[in-house]
Structure 1
């Protein structure tokens, strides 16, 4: 049995971050290893943002005030603020993550990933720029990555901000590199001259509905649609259309992970209950990477709204297109909310997507087994 550390986005208050962290931990534990999460020191972001404080309390207050400005029921906004406030205390212990940070432990192996651990050209002060996310200053004997993503950091951005050579030096010191999308693979190949392996996000790689005993049964009497999106990303016009669409179908609108205009219920629940709610939904509308994954593993009709990157604004076009191409589900994407009615009426051949996922799960098991046994 080896001692294995995972360095990921495990402390981010986000259901996708939690479920991918839990899944990767479980996959490695199934190989017989002792697993712990490792923290990184948050550095100054590459893109300066004078409006963003580096003080954690100040950021929380700002986010809370920002939530109050959204067009959503006040009860939902207050519940969302409470959910964010309590998230770490309630859910991080389920990962074995303690309040005290775990920096630079002595390990046999370090696995960096999954999530956007390589997304270094951004202005988020919660993440900043940390060489540790590329394996620097580690006390592990062997360092690999699993399904690591550069997010919307591109090679031109790395060059523009003068980080390409530095990142290349870190990548060249890793024993094995696994990415989760084409953009990340391209960057690694250009910077190192080697083509990395590509693997599925852990939420797909681990069979949650087939293996996990943590997903509860929920008893909801009314039919509902899940709107899974970050607060503030669904436009006024989109929210109005979704409201009318749900009413035509006799569906209540449940929002999870964010507050939205016209929603009937904001659901404050555990990460495992999120999957239960997805399983019980009539259909889903999302504009997120993990929302698309939750919909897929729950075998539900869904539409993914694609957002394009504009300037330094955050878009999701590259990673969503890549994900849904791998699953054979590109027909579920649109940039126009009015396409939802047509898309969600089309049955999905989940037998075909399940075959693709199962093939990739075997590749994940093989990769982790091989790399964590040297």
Structure 2
């Protein structure tokens, strides 16, 4: 098998990050016979508000998470253990950059590998990676804008890095606009690896009995961010006779808080009565599940979350100003669009990996 390196976020306690890496490695193996691993590298935090902070919200694995006490602290420990074991058992992580010399190729992405909120990390721009063949897959600038790049005096570096890459694909319109502005070429947009893989078998994994009908919540602390949203969740669940199940995040008001294996988490989405989320990959998993979903974007992820919903004609899923789970998505249209975009995404990968 060919050996590719992947530059992404490989060591964070975040289900979406782990699943997008898992999905990309599975697609590369299944369709192209390529064995790929995430490569370890040092992350730069020169632009972060304080030393050691992450890239402005990409991961919930932050220092303050470990200051939580009691149940929250124990939940965070369980989640970290579950995700690290999953990454290890699936062989998703390889060695560090220095452990390799001449890989067949390197893919940068998916996820917000081009965000500048924390700093400039050379490996995410293709510098110092162990291959002369460097491309991206579904890379994203996240909430970083062209003005942000200019304000950080990074335009020459970003332009040079993008221009030197063999192939570029991005995940969202904001990223496509930035790449086109800096290189003069419009990049192809490809699916997030979770949508690309589809995880069909995992969606059949049902919660263990006895399973009451439940409202699945996947998101950051609603009580801290917006108590109005919390009241909507509690009122809806009470009215419909639903248990509130929070997966991946601890909320003291949920009936159950579960730190699940990533594959089991996908099944919980698929068997929920409805999904409430404020994250990008929570939205992705809700779309794959084909269940009613309400999305409350945060200030940090608004660009990518609303962009995803716009791509599939599902802005009615946005919860701001609308009753919870009041929109009925046309999931047959979503399925057809996904099939077409999967074909285009696989065609792109085929072009990248051809010798």
User: Using the alignment, how far apart are the partners of 2:177 and 2:214 within structure 1?
Assistant: 40
Stretch moving more, 327-336 or 172-181? 327-336
Structure 2 residue 330 is matched with structure 1 residue 328: no
TM-score (normalizing by structure 2) = 0.90
Structure 2 residue 23 is matched with structure 1 residue 23: yes
- After TM superposition, list the pairs within 5 Å mapping 1:1-374 onto structure 2: 1-30=1-30, 31-49=32-50, 52=53, 62-65=64-67, 67-68=68-69, 75=71, 77-97=72-92, 101-103=96-98, 105=100, 106-120=102-116, 122-123=117-118, 128-209=119-200, 212=201, 216-220=205-209, 221-231=211-221, 234-308=225-299, 315-336=300-321, 339-341=322-324, 344-374=325-355
Q: 1:50 to 1:93 in 2, by over 3 A?
A: closer
Q: CA RMSD in A?
A: 2.3
Q: Give the deviation of 1:240 after TM superposition.
A: 2.5
Report the count of equivalent residues: 346
TM-score (normalizing by structure 1) = 0.86
User: Using the alignment, how far apart are the partners of 1:145 and 1:94 within structure 2?
Assistant: 26
User: Using the alignment, how far apart are the partners of 1:141 and 1:214 within structure 2?
Assistant: 38
Q: 1:101 to 1:230 in 2, by over 3 A?
A: farther
Stretch moving more, 259-268 or 78-87? 78-87
User: Using the alignment, how far apart are the partners of 1:214 and 1:102 within structure 2?
Assistant: 35
User: Using the alignment, how far apart are the partners of 1:352 and 1:187 within structure 2?
Assistant: 29
User: Using the alignment, how far apart are the partners of 1:52 and 1:138 within structure 2?
Assistant: 24
Q: State the SS of the aligned residue for 1:144.
A: strand
- 1:38·1:104 contact (CA, 8 Å) conserved in 2? no
User: Using the alignment, how far apart are the partners of 2:64 and 2:95 within structure 1?
Assistant: 24
User: Using the alignment, how far apart are the partners of 1:129 and 1:95 within structure 2?
Assistant: 29
Q: Deviations over 1:7-42 (max 9, x none)?
A: 111222111111110111111112111222212221
Q: Give the deviation of 1:189 after TM superposition.
A: 1.0
User: Using the alignment, how far apart are the partners of 2:215 and 2:91 within structure 1?
Assistant: 33
Q: Deviations over 1:272-296 (max 9, x none)?
A: 1110111111001111111111011
Could you list the runs of 5+ residues in structure 2 that have no partner in the other structure? Answer: 55-60
User: Using the alignment, how far apart are the partners of 1:95 and 1:9 within structure 2?
Assistant: 16
Q: 1:184 to 1:302 in 2, by over 3 A?
A: same
User: Using the alignment, how far apart are the partners of 1:15 and 1:7 within structure 2?
Assistant: 17
User: Using the alignment, how far apart are the partners of 1:331 and 1:321 within structure 2?
Assistant: 10
Q: Give the deviation of 1:191 after TM superposition.
A: 1.3
Q: State the SS of the aligned residue for 2:128.
A: coil
- 1:215·1:273 contact (CA, 8 Å) conserved in 2? no
User: Using the alignment, how far apart are the partners of 1:135 and 1:298 within structure 2?
Assistant: 35
Partner of 2:58: none
